[in-house]
Chain A
Amino acid sequence: MKVYNFVYTKVAPEESPWRKKDFHTVFYPIELLTREDLLEIERRIYFPTSTEFNEKKTVFYLKIKGEYYLFILHINNLPEARDIYGRGGIFLCHGFMFPETLWRDFNSPKDLFELVKNSVFKSREAVLSSPLVDKATGNISPIIIDLTDKYPVPSRSLPEINSEFEKQLIILLNNFARERKPAIVIKGEPDSIFELMNKLIAYIPQELKPNIGWDSAFDNGNLTFYPLKIVGFKEHLPLGDNPIYIDLLTQRIEITQELKWVFMPHTPYERWLYHCLKESKTYEHIEQAYRLSLILEGRKASGELLSERDGFVSCNREEIINGFLKSASKIIGEELANFISYNLKPGELLELLIEDLPLSKIALIIEKIVIKHNFTPKAIKFKFSEPLIKHASKRLKLILNLWQGEPISPSDLETLRREERIELIKYLISTAQLKKENLIEILKLNEDIFDTLFSSPEIGKEIEKLLFELIASQREFRGIENFLFERILNKKQVFAFLNNQINLMDVLEEFVKDNLMDEEKMNILISFAKKTKLLCKEYPYITSFLYPKKGVSEEILKNKKTRERLLFILAVYHKYKDDDLKELGFDEDEISKIKKRQRDKSLIEKIRKLIKFR
């Protein structure tokens, strides 16, 4: 790995390849750096003249030929050195340029500096006698670092943040990285400032790192015109630019009211840092959380995302909803975006944003929401965009068509999976958007799921309602509809009835047959029969018991139990005389036995009433 470097100092003009006698960049990679680049670099070289000063490191990022390099300038005071006029004030700046691949991998400027520490020039003599420099051209060869050999693999762990003070500074620095203001002035020893900044910069996402740069000793400097806005000082306060003052020793921060915002998190990433700092353990976490933040800000982000998102979601609920609304509104319209955001949890909205709002998924979600909450056009008054309709599933399309007045036919459901059909039919039943006939047709063709549907309490109730209406709609059975309804339910014949496998006559026949001994019911049935004429030839029990004048079934007469019951019904309810009964084949004994039983029964009834009265 190549680390380019340069030397800025003052040498005798004859020693300089450029024949200059004042401070200038004496050696630099001439193929890499242009005059403009040099000017930019030199603007960041500050030598504090007004204080006791030995050495410092200035750190910043600068784009050279389209690539961001991390610059670490080692500035060394040479108090004994003199220029050609015999003047002091000489210093030596040995600058190192770490390519992007290196600083992205290492992250910590301090670790990077360790790689070149042994190559730092400490005197002008060392520079001029170095085999790296070419006095004729002014070129200086890069330092070659073999990362595979003697250098340790950079740590992926983030430095530990031990105090609220450091946490505050992390937020401050993130705000600075984003806004490039306000200026920050830190009082302390240059080394302590470098250490602190090295720690804090670990919490800045790599994309924003190039906005950070600091000079750890800027005593008496003029911030107004200095490109680096984070500076340290030991004794003499730098001036200009209305900065924030931080005292490293006392951990005191001096700030004006108007700058208080810089200690508050403003982006989803910063909020996550602020509230979930302990969740960030590695450099990867920083990048992953930052990418999530970018997505919320409507930007593209490639690479892995934070896998544990609960903290991120909980401290960014509003941001997620707003981010979703902003992005989704452009694609599916504001109303639909609002609709989705109202019905989904922030975590789910974030997932959608992560997946870049795929229309097919949005359509699926809308479909689920509509079905889950039984939404109808009464609740959803907005239109679905054409692209969304294109991506809608068949089921959603059916629903949308239904909303447009196009009914769903049973065949429409054929291609749907079992679960889809269940949900759709439930939706159709719950929202009553289909005509009864259509619904019944659909139910009839979905026998395999009918029991599941019917077993759902709400849907079961709706089907029962439908069933009752259907029974009640058959006028000839008016008066006994409750019997028939209950009978169908009890006998679990709902589907068979809906599917016309049985009709109400069948039901009534069976009902009569089973309830011959229930006098109350028989009474009602006979009263019903007296009012209603039914075509009942094929139904022996109905005919025999309710309409005996139309003929009594031989089968019933043959059975001892039913014969006895028929005799009773005919005698008691239909008021058949003995002769009529004899004509039907009943003998004297049978008739008198029934009469006796009737008398006994009446007596018992009278006694019971009397006791009750008493």
Chain B
Amino acid sequence: MIRCPYCLEMVKPKFEIKGNVKVYKCSNQECQRETPRVVVEGQIPKSSVGLVGFSGHGKTVYLTALFYLLKKLREKHSNKWKDYYFSALDSYTIEIVYEHVKKFENSKLPESTPKNFPFPALLEFKNIPNFGDWLLSMYDTAGAVFENPLDIPEQGRFVAKADVCLFIISIVDCGDNWADEMEKLLETYRRAVYDRMHINLKETQKIIVVLTKADEFVDKLPKKLADYLEKGSIDKYLYLDNGIIKELEDISISVREWLIKNNCGGFVKLAEGNFKKVRYTIVSSTGAKPEGMDLATKLKPEHPKRVLDPFLWILYEVYPKGIWYYLKKFGKRLLFND
């Protein structure tokens, strides 16, 4: 049994042979979509990620920037990433990776996402440093869906059933009461999923809070975070080592503290009380505020900042851990009587 990336039901795909064509098809009668072979046969870790966030807060831009950087990492010649590559598993993903990203490379922002049922971006990663191979499905849902709790069970179902939720929020677009807005969005999502889909996110989902457009409120951030953001271009990730997670953890704690200091204690408690795990990140997908549909300057790989942090968190949170991880964790608990 696998979870079909298109309908998200647990299914046993049917193997069909028609002439020279041999394909797997989802066994859900309502879906019956051709499932990429690697999704069915691949013995590699698989995860699904959904994006939650208000309209205009940068979900699509973040994803585009992420794919842009993931593409760029293929071209970089660092030892760590030398064997790394990824491939798009279906035509829709190919369109995102090669057409949307191309527009982004040409400094054009993606258009706003209509409230259509999303298709996932299906990517197969090979040889990610410190991790390995990975199959990722990402769902970009329209922000309008999260403004109405009634919409979430229908159009937001992809996010609700995902392993990890990227909670994308642009505090500069939340107005003066941004703490309340953050809380409101999270509460709307949580409540709709809990009440109307009977899914308890505390048991099923990890959440990564992504504060987008961080370049626009960098002056409000403590120096540590501001510096972290500033130095967070792609090159920083070329020499990825085991210390990166420690650094991410450290930043997550700092962002959390900063949020609490800025009246977001309610949000933090709500998130930590209702999800399996909560991580905090700050991101600038474009490096600077765009002008209309265009980026302020011609896009360069070093412009997006800390865009890979949420990606690494996802990897860390969902990637199966080796025995050393658990031995270390257990030993630490024993040592510190934790």
Which A residues have a C-beta under 8 Å from some C-beta of B? 10, 20-24, 35-36, 39, 42-43, 45-47, 49-50, 82-91, 220-222, 224-226, 239-242
Contacts and interface: CB of A to CB of B under 8 A. Distances in A.
A90 B109 CA distance: 14
A84 B143 CA distance: 14
A150 B290 CA distance: 52
26 contacts: A22-B115, A23-B55, A23-B115, A24-B144, A39-B148, A46-B114, A46-B116, A49-B111, A83-B55, A85-B56, A86-B292, A86-B293, A87-B56, A87-B293, A88-B112, A89-B111, A89-B112, A89-B114, A90-B112, A224-B6, A225-B117, A225-B155, A240-B6, A240-B30, A240-B32, A241-B31
Given A22-B142, A83-B56, A242 B109 contact: no
Contacts of A47: 114, 116
B30 A224 contact: yes
B117 A86 contact: no
Nearest to A86: B292
A90 B111 CA distance: 8
B250 interface: no
Given A23-B144, A86-B293, A239-B119, A10 B112 contact: yes
B331 to A, nearest CB: 47
Given A23-B114, A87-B56, A88-B111, A82 B150 contact: no
B154 A39 contact: yes
Given A224-B33, A225-B154, A22 B143 contact: yes
A224 B117 contact: yes
Interface centre among B6, B116, B147, B150, by most A CB within 10 Å?
B116
A241 B32 contact: yes
A114 B285 CA distance: 47
Nearest to B108: A88
A88 B293 contact: yes
Contacts of B32: 240-242
A90 B292 CA distance: 14
Given A89-B114, A225-B155, 5 more contacts: A22-B55, A23-B142, A39-B148, A47-B116, A85-B56
B29 to A, nearest CB: 8
Nearest to B113: A89
Contacts of A90: 112
Lowest 10 CB-CB distances: which A-B pairs, in order? Answer: A89-B111, A22-B55, A22-B144, A86-B292, A242-B32, A225-B117, A222-B117, A85-B56, A47-B114, A89-B112
Contacts of B95: 50, 220
B54 to A, nearest CB: 8
A90 to B, nearest CB: 7
B151 interface: yes
A361 B140 CA distance: 68
If over half of B's interface residues share one DSSP class (helix, strand or loop), that class is named, otherwise mixed; here it is loop
B129 interface: no
Contacts of A87: 56, 109-112, 293
B92 interface: yes
Given A49-B111, A89-B113, A241 B290 contact: no
Contacts of B111: 49, 87-89
Given A24-B144, A241-B31, A222 B112 contact: no
Contacts of B30: 224, 240-241
B118 interface: yes
B259 interface: no
A26 B118 CA distance: 23
A87 B60 CA distance: 11
Contact of B119 (A22, A85, A222): A222
A22 B112 contact: yes
A240 B92 CA distance: 13
A39 B154 CA distance: 10
Nearest to A18: B147
A221 B117 contact: yes
B203 interface: no
Contacts of A22: 54-56, 112, 115, 142-144, 147
A221 B116 contact: yes
A258 to B, nearest CB: 11
B31 A82 contact: no
A43 B154 contact: yes
A203 to B, nearest CB: 27
B291 interface: yes
B56 A84 contact: yes
Contacts of B292: 82, 86
B5 to A, nearest CB: 11
A95 to B, nearest CB: 15
Interface in B108-141: 109-119
B44 interface: no
B142 to A, nearest CB: 7
A240 B116 CA distance: 14
B148 A240 contact: no
B154 A35 contact: no
Interface in B267-319: 290-293
A35 B55 CA distance: 20
A188 to B, nearest CB: 20
B26 to A, nearest CB: 9
Contacts of B6: 222, 224, 239-240
Contacts of A49: 111, 114, 116
A83 B116 CA distance: 18
A268 B124 CA distance: 53
A10 B168 CA distance: 21
Contacts of A50: 95
Contacts of B116: 46-47, 49, 221-222
Contact of B291 (A35, A86, A89): A86
A21 B151 contact: no
Most chain B beta carbons < 10 A, residue from A22, A45, A86: A22
Nearest to B9: A224
Contacts of A221: 116-117
Interface string B238-251: 00000000000000
Nearest to A89: B111
Contacts of A240: 6-7, 30-33
A221 B292 CA distance: 27
A45 B290 contact: no
